[in-house]
Structure 1
Amino acid sequence: MEIALEKSTETNASLRIKLTKSDYQSEVDKKLKDYGRRASIKGFRPGKVPTSLIQKMYGKSVLVDEINELLKNTVNNYIRDNKLQVVGDPLPDREKADAIDWDTQSEFEFNYNLGLASDFEVDFNALPPVPAYEIEAGETELNSTIEELKTRFSGHTHAEESAEGDMIYGELKQDAKEEGEPFSTKTALPTKQIAANELPKFIGLKKGDVVTFDIQKAFPDEKARALATGLKAEEATSLEGEFTFTVDDVTRNEPAEIGQEFFDKVLGKDAVENEEQFREKVLEIIKSNYGREATTLQRIEIEQALLDNIAISLPTEFLKQWLLTNNEGNITEADVEEQYDTFARSVKLQLIKNKIASENEINVSYEDVMETTRSMVREQFGFYGDDEQMKQSIDQIARQYLMDEKGNNYMQMYNRMFDDKVIELIKEKLTLEPKTISVDEFKELVSARQPQA
């Protein structure tokens, strides 16, 4: 076997592989012999099929399979052994491969185009300081959160007459049209979904009142029309004309009142005993939530600092071609052009993180993944206790979760843990500058610091 790498540019290369009969024939013969032992062909006893017939029937397919397997292993081993910074997958020269005569050739030559990332170093000392944000959350955020909670845990009351935001219950009718059946149903009309220019007709209604309206004008949204009539979306689409609605009842959401019942609904039974404790606990939760958001923002800042200060060149045209080939039929050239900058950003970021992990011996083991999944299972299912039976149940659920989705759950968990470990190490290496900001300033930063291409 001959294998040679030819670099045309810093980021583009060709891998040429030449195979002779000695590279593959012994494995081909071994597989054909195995076929001969297992073949069941009419007129021959098992294991007594002539070698020439086995060769004629299976020889070419076995040869092709064996060479493809040999090529895959050869390419992967060469990349690994030579520590090539390959991006995308090697793309075979299809024209050269299609020209092979599998019936007569015994020596073969294959070419693979490789996309390479340029060499780079990660020098933490050359990276700028990254802000460590602390978000100030105080009375303003606390009061607005409590108002939201009062709305979320609101109760229903019966109103004498309808107002905007109410739910109106009653009977919806339409007289029969030519060759049609009359329409009649008991339903509820949510005033929030009624078109603004039609809404005044539905304000001030009392029990027994009748209102006439055009169904399409009042409910121009097809989903809202389906909800109001109780019909399927496709049936509601064709509804038109005037309908009458007779009011039976009006209900209104009333914000929850401050008190023990409200405290228990929000925080759990008897978690707090009075409004002062409630406010303290809610503020604590708000600050905790903003703390997580600050950590997410800091992660974005760290990643942007890496990209801004570590220069990496990518094989742009190769990667665009690889994306088209790898997603053949599912993506267009226009899609690739539109999405390429975001894709290139993620490739560069992953290269940097992989290098940091390699240089600092960061690894994620199966047991690491299992332990994190166990914690997730305990939290989601509310498992408490530490007896052997409980441990076995948790392990069974954790293993099942990791095996689901064809192993994708395991890879997602692994990648998340790998990423977290790398980010934590980077934080130890970088200079973090504490910075206190208001909630409004934080929101502005989030908007401005979204990942850029």
Structure 2
Amino acid sequence: MATVSRENIGLLNDKITVTLSKEDYLPAFEQSLKKYAKTANIPGFRKGMVPTSMVKKMYGSSVFTDEVLRSVEKELNNYMTQEKLDIFAQPLPLDNDARQLDMNNPADYSFAFEVGLKPVIDINPSNISVVRHKVQVTDEMIDAEVERLQTRHGKMTEPEEVNSEDIVLNVTFVETDAEGNEIEGGINKGNSVLVKYFAEAFRSQVMGKKKDDSIQLTLNEAFDEKEREWIQSDLGLKDDATAGDKHFKLNISKVGLVEKAEMTEDFFTAAYPGRNVVNEDDLRKAVREDLQAHFDAQSRNQLHDQIYHALVDHTHIDFPEAFLKRWMEKGGEEPKTAEQAEQEYPSFANSLKWSLISQQLMQQHNVQVEPQEIKDFAKQQIMGYMGVQSLDEAPWLDSYADSMLKDQKFIENTYYQLQTTKIFGILEGQVNVQEDTVTPEQLAAMQHNHAH
């Protein structure tokens, strides 16, 4: 009869040894040989009439090994189930040599495995203090957004010459030498540039220019730092320390100006379809609501990030480090060297830490994600991509969402996203939250630290 023993070999690291007697695997081995005899195709014998002795001679060694290992796996899994072992990944074999197996001399065999045990975690959200950073929408913000909407829904015109800082130029940057001669093989790249993006001291050289005119410039003289970085990146010069001193001929292919939309019913409907916006007061109210919703969403993301770091940075979790490094070397999809495992372990452990914390929180609060929630999420994504305001506008949406749900990766990613959102929603009500007021710029800067 099979026996299973277990001993501790390190922090959260146990060795499990499965010992089989002949009686544990020989009956299954003999049965498998008989099945092979019934199905084997061997020249000179009718199917099902192959002698068992011949099957044993031809296939016996591999069948014997398979049955022994299958019996070991069965005993190991039964033991872990009975003992309710919560382990990382899969058991790793310890110096097990299948070459010891000999069907001609069946014997008792022992196979050893090591397992990494998941730790017990103590999570107390009531000890976490965070700050909800609020942005108050001002009239100036509303004014700027209304102007942006007027521009977005305005009419494009083509003035004869540059006479406003709001004009958009379609241009081509052609690299030249200091005398203005085009460099063979140099940069030749199209772009669109607002006149107001040019450095203030340089704009006078742009004013009065017409379609098909050219301007000779260097990036340093034509653009201030922020705009210059954007231009350099677009030209493929992001990491070139000398880029600002390069010479270019700026060829103007189009002079365009958007005439802002007037405050008419057509504009209100175009800006906010389906929102019953019929006058300027309604428009400003809708803008205020949307801006506040946008800032509140950013604020909530930042709050969740604080909670995430409080949990990950301040929850003590022990790991079976030696086991996990060996598993990274041998048990993953892509085997690693010992040096690679050592180098990658800190980030791996940090990710594993959040995985354990989130799993425990899901179990504690019975967090579930239903299939309909995933489908609804898919619909919302499509509506966002297509600019659809309501389901009534898109009767095709249901079938389109069904096609997205055939993508297993999309389902997994959406499941995780919805699951995480629910966890943080629960934690919001359990942590200590204080509030302060910040500017949109301050809140936006905080988003760069968002990590989960």
TM-score (norm 2): 0.70
- Tell whether the 8 Å contact from 1:160 to 1:250 is kept in structure 2 after alignment: no
Mapping 1:35-184, distance limit 5 Å: 35-93=36-94, 95-97=95-97, 100-101=100-101, 106-123=107-124, 127-132=127-132, 134-150=134-150, 152-153=152-153, 155-161=155-161, 166-168=168-170
In structure 2, the CA distance between the partners of 1:210 and 1:303, relative to structure 1 (3 Å rule), is closer
Contact 1:353 1:422 survives alignment (8 Å):
yes
Deviation string 1:197-254 (CA, Å, 9 cap, x unpaired) is x99998754356578999xxx9x979759xxxxxxxxxxxxxxxx999987x522243
Shift of 1:403: 3.8
Distance change (3 Å), C-alpha of 1:442 and 1:330: farther
Pick closer, same or farther for the CA change 1:345–1:201 going to 2, 3 Å: same
Q: Equivalents in 2 of 1:370, 1:252: separation in Å?
A: 49
Partner-residue secondary structure (3-state), 1:89: strand
Aligned twin of 1:295: 300
Asked if the contact 1:136/1:436 (under 8 Å) is kept, the reply is no
CA drift at 1:398: 5.6
Residue 47 to residue 450, structure 1, CA distance change in 2 (3 Å) = same
Residue 255 of structure 2 is aligned to residue 254 of structure 1: no
Q: Is the Cα–Cα contact under 8 Å of residues 153 and 267 in structure 2 kept in the other structure?
A: yes
Where structure 2 has 5 or more consecutive residues not aligned to the other structure, the ranges are 175-183, 223-230, 237-246
Unaligned runs of 5+ in 1: 173-181, 226-241
The alpha-carbon deviation at position 50 of structure 1 amounts to: 1.3
Equivalent-residue separation in structure 2 for 1:29 and 1:145 (angstroms): 80
In the alignment, which residue of structure 2 is the partner of 1:306? 311
2: CA distance, partners of 1:224 / 1:159: 27
CA contact (8 A) 2:161 2:211 kept: yes
Q: 1:62-98 deviations in whole A, cap 9, x for unaligned?
A: 34444444444444443343233423432222x4336
Residues 363/268 of structure 1: CA separation in 2 closer, same or farther (3 Å cut): closer
Q: Is the 2:212–2:254 contact (alpha carbons within 8 Å) kept by the matching residues of 1?
A: no
Partner residue of 1:20?
A: 21
The answer on 1:30 being equivalent to 2:38 is no
User: Matched residues in 2 for 1:137 and 1:354: separation?
Assistant: 38
| Cα RMSD (Å) | 4.8
Partner residue in 2 for 1:284:
289
- Distance in structure 2 (CA, Å) of the matches to 1:269 and 1:426: 35
CA contact (8 A) 1:137 1:439 kept: no
Q: Is the 8 A contact 1:301 1:449 kept in 2?
A: no
Counterpart residue type for residue 122 of structure 1? I
Q: Write the letter of the residue equivalent to 1:272.
A: V
Shift of 1:314: 1.0
Maintained 8 Å contact 2:374/2:415: no
Q: What is the Cα deviation at residue 402 of structure 1?
A: 3.5
Aligned length, in residue pairs: 409
Equivalences for residues 230-269 of structure 1 within 5 A = 250-254=254-258, 256-260=260-264, 261-268=266-273
User: What displacement does 1:281 show?
Assistant: 0.6
Are the aligned partners of 1:18 and 1:110 in contact in 2 as well (CA < 8 Å)? yes
Q: Distance in 1 between matches of 2:438 and 2:337?
A: 44
Amino acid at match of 2:351: S
Task: Report the secondary structure of 2:370's partner residue.
Answer: helix
C-alpha distance in 2, partners of 1:331/1:136?
51
- Equivalence for 2:181: none
- In the TM superposition, residue 158 of structure 1 has moved relative to its aligned partner by 1.6
Question: Which letter maps to 1:443?
Answer: L
User: Contact 2:130–2:433 at 8 Å: present in 1 too?
Assistant: yes
Identity rate of aligned residues, in percent? 22
Cα distance change of structure 1 residues 245 and 425 upon mapping to structure 2, 3 Å threshold: closer
Do the aligned residues in 1 keep the contact of 2:25 with 2:68 (CA within 8 Å)? yes
**What one-letter code is carried by the residue in structure 1 that aligns with 2:437?**
I
- Cα deviation digits, residues 270-294 of structure 1 (max 9, x gap): 7412222112111111211222223
Q: State the partner residue of 1:350.
A: 355
Residue 372 of structure 1: CA displacement?
A: 0.7
2:372 maps to 371
Q: Which residue of 2 aligns with 1:443?
A: 443
Does the residue aligned with 2:91 lie in a helix, a strand or coil?
Answer: strand
Query: What residue number does 1:230 align with?
Result: none
Query: Aligned in 2, Cα 1:9/1:327: closer, same or farther, shift over 3 Å?
Result: closer
